[in-house]
Structure 1
């Protein structure tokens, strides 16, 4: 039973995929439809059947061939199908023609993903982002939504009420889109102001394909995190940031972000760019990979392409292969270790090898720490205490009435700590003058 779609009965669904060999082989379409079935289940539908048609080109009117449409129409009516889900984007005309032929709802993969995001959105920010993506998806599809007005014809020199209604609706949608974009810019600016202090602290962001185990890993590393984790796609939409204690530094901030998926709608990526700021601002990324998934290498490629799309241009990424406990053949794990020598292999759910992951994070962070020295009077307790609290003091030497401290500090904090040191020195000089 779906645990979060409780306010409406589950719908009966049929999935449709198009195979166009050699560009898209049948095996690949089967994998895509398997994922689409998982998406449908997440959205609250029971998949009764999946249909794959092979043809050289998609039909401009129906996406699949007209003969297949007629064949499916009988099956859909006989089995009381509520919704047909197509694995590729449909044009407004194709969706309209299929709905007329099947006499039931027809949506494409993008529409399904948007529906799941709408279900999952909890915060005001996430709800606005999803609504923006939905409206931008809906805008070119508004034609035909007002067919109930088609009988009301306008006279010579006048516009038909149907056309007027469509234009009015488009204008309302465009106005709403403009308002949402403005509001999201304000929310993003407010969030940036609120989190400005965090930038002084090293940041690590979890990224990966949806359902790879990012939230489970965050809960394992930061037990107080309380990140929602479930065997569903897109369990996390809102970015969560928690403290992670490491030996190299007293505090590191770990952020859990929305998962990626193949064929992720472009307007959805655009809408969620402000949420993904944590990824862009992080010192480095942990790319969490579900090693038990047969198509994990393609998922890795999808994540890489999506990161480039949102503006990540560095290779400062640690690959974390999760769910190693689900691998039945140990030889597979040995081969993966050979192919990915710098990766870490863990099971977040069972806590396997998490210490090694923390060590890897510490080693990675160490590259961004700078070693510095300072000499001050032994009585300058405020300055000395500040350094012990906000930096890592690794050596101290007493020189008569002075003390020399060698400390390490993260590159993000150098200017901030230097400003405080100068303030303490000025206080010391002022006291001496008195």
Structure 2
């Protein structure tokens, strides 16, 4: 658990489940990430609860016995917030609130809350607000389905509307307005991207908190906000970068995450367009994270969803300075060697070796192996450039360290 604790932090508990798709180890990993999300949002996790359950309870998500255990803990420890790792239905959320008498969040609403906190520009705030309303609308309807069933009965005839119908229309109108506003901004951003001329476009992508903004700062000598929290950056930052004498555009995009709310994928369309329209992707990976392979799979899934998986990509394994592995004693004949025991050199001999030259190992923070990084990016950008403009390839010679 994160040990940092301040008076401003909300006391919270986490709830996850164990089932056929999610064993105990995976459940712990998801709750670790959920705790980091809670910390980023301003929460202090006091306890975790998990339950083995194949099919979530349609009324309360978890069983009555576990719910009573949580209720007792919430009451005894003055817990204000209860966070579920999976998305709750409107009915489940309402029922749980009645039982626990606390604020009930799920992973989606927590991520939306963090995005709302982190949105700095008008554009980012508009994107987040749209996602929040899209999340709210079905829940608004779900809470009032009993009124829907009464329509046409006594007292429900004529032009009168129920309160929820008025609320729903307000939310729908707001969604429509925000979509039009985003469409207008998207067109402006599309024009801006079109005006960037013939420069090759390179996009930094990766799971949240892998060091993209730190790498952006080092490579472009800019000052992009970066800190050890999830979703430190929401707005796409684009910088003109020159390596040797070769200029190109480098963009830093919002970090991806498992179970990324579909509302955010839709509302952050323009941010993802930076990825769609890039000529080269730099997929940054935090190799010091014990589950970095799953992070890669999550990012690749989103790339597939936005039809960008086949783009030229360099895998950049960052934070090599933080990488640690478990060791097995020579006389230990019981412990089976797994990937958690791999050294960096052993990792390099796995599937990473099959990726050939398109794999780099760096530390952006400590500026380790950055010359190798610069050389590789130069070569790839040069290759794309001379393919597009073969008549001026003499302008960009092979990479030399003293360029």
* TM-score when normalising by structure 1: 0.80
Distance 1:61 1:308, change over 3 A: same
Which one of the candidate residues 322, 325, 347 is aligned to 2:363? 347
Which has the larger Rg? Answer: 1
1:317 to 2:313 alignment: yes
Which one of the candidate residues 368, 371, 377 is aligned to 1:361? 377
Q: What do residues 88-110 of structure 1 show as CA deviations (whole Å, max 9, x unaligned)?
A: 00000000000000001101000
| Native 8 Å contact 2:320 2:362 kept in 1 | yes
| Native 8 Å contact 1:96 1:144 kept in 2 | no
Distance 1:317 1:199, change over 3 A: farther
- Trace 1:184-203 onto structure 2 (pairs within 5 A): 184-203=182-201
Distance 1:344 1:351, change over 3 A: same
Distance 1:183 1:221, change over 3 A: same
Aligned counterpart, 2:400:
none
| Native 8 Å contact 1:59 1:65 kept in 2 | yes
Q: Give distance in 1, aligned partners of 2:10 and 2:324.
A: 35
1:81 to 2:79 alignment: yes
Secondary structure at 1:56 match in 2: coil
Distance 1:162 1:61, change over 3 A: farther
Query: Over aligned residue pairs, what C-alpha RMSD do you find?
Result: 2.6
Aligned counterpart, 1:17:
16
Distance 1:311 1:162, change over 3 A: farther
Shift of 1:260: 0.3
Shift of 1:372: 4.8
Aligned counterpart, 1:419:
none
1:332 to 2:361 alignment: no
* TM-score when normalising by structure 2: 0.85
Q: Give distance in 2, aligned partners of 1:163 and 1:96.
A: 23
- Trace 1:204-243 onto structure 2 (pairs within 5 A): 204-223=202-221, 225-243=222-240
| Native 8 Å contact 1:273 1:310 kept in 2 | no
| Native 8 Å contact 1:269 1:310 kept in 2 | no
Which one of the candidate residues 170, 174, 181 is aligned to 1:172? 170
Aligned counterpart, 2:335:
none
Q: Give distance in 2, aligned partners of 1:110 and 1:94.
A: 14
**More displaced 10-residue stretch of structure 1: 47-56 or 305-314:** 305-314
Q: Give distance in 2, aligned partners of 1:276 and 1:143.
A: 30
Q: Give distance in 2, aligned partners of 1:155 and 1:104.
A: 35
Aligned counterpart, 2:337:
none
Distance 1:221 1:372, change over 3 A: closer
Shift of 1:184: 0.4
Distance 1:29 1:161, change over 3 A: farther
Give the number of the structure with larger relative contact order, counting CA–CA contacts within 8 Å between residues 6 or more apart.
2
Aligned residue-pair number: 366
Q: Which runs of 5+ in 2 are unaligned?
A: 326-340, 398-403
Secondary structure at 2:364 match in 1: coil
Shift of 1:318: 0.4
Q: Give distance in 1, aligned partners of 2:69 and 2:220.
A: 54
Distance 1:133 1:162, change over 3 A: farther
